[in-house]
Amino acid sequence: MPPPLQGRYLDNITRGDFCKLAMNLLTEIKGKPLQEILDEAGIKTLQNPFIDTSEPEILAANALGIVKGVGNGRFNPDGMITRQEAAVMLTRTAALLGIDSSENAPEIFSDNGEFADWAADSILFISSLVDRSGNKKVMGGVGNNRFSPHGSYTREQSIVTMLRLFNVIKNSNL
């Protein structure tokens, strides 16, 4: 875990910090530095489409398709993410790691009518992935059969879901 993310676990996670966790996961799983991962993806030079950040991890996450900007050339690195945004970014990270399907049924949430169209498939996918070492969903609900798509996502939740995704990869035949 990147040292700046060690602590303040109950704080909501920022878009920038979530990118750092995702890039850390990629480098740990692949056992390669970030630049080598980018090179293998055909990304020789990181372009910066944003006027509000130049963080290499954010630019890499954008170049790899894990995150997008918020419009008008901005990324909003200090903005908080919602649970449905986290589900989309986790699903895109999983796809980069070669996981694009699950043999498990997704959770069916009572608040699925609140899912944004752009997030619904990702929520279903990420709630179907199981960390076999702990037999927990990578990202499940918040209780009472709810996903809470517009709810906040903490640093702790982000770290736990990245660890669970790591364990899905580590315990698979990929």
pLDDT in the model for residue 133: 84
What is the DSSP track for 97-139? TT----SSPPP--TTGGGS-HHHHHHHHHHTT-EETTTTEESS
Model pTM? 0.90
Task: Name the residue range of residue 60's domain.
Answer: 3-170
Task: Report the 10 Å Cβ neighbour count for 2.
Answer: 11
What is the total residue count of the chain?
174
Structure token pair of residue 18 = 């979530």
Q: Which of 108, 112, 88, 61 is nearest to 161 (CA)?
A: 88
| pLDDT reading at 20 higher than 70 | yes
Look at the block and give the residue holding tokens 């009518």: 113
Mean pLDDT, range 161-166, rounded to an integer: 93
Q: What is the mean pLDDT of the chain?
A: 90
Number of domains in the chain: 1
pLDDT in the model for residue 3: 64
Give whole-number Cα distances, 73 to 49, 59, 69, 79, in Å.
6, 13, 7, 15
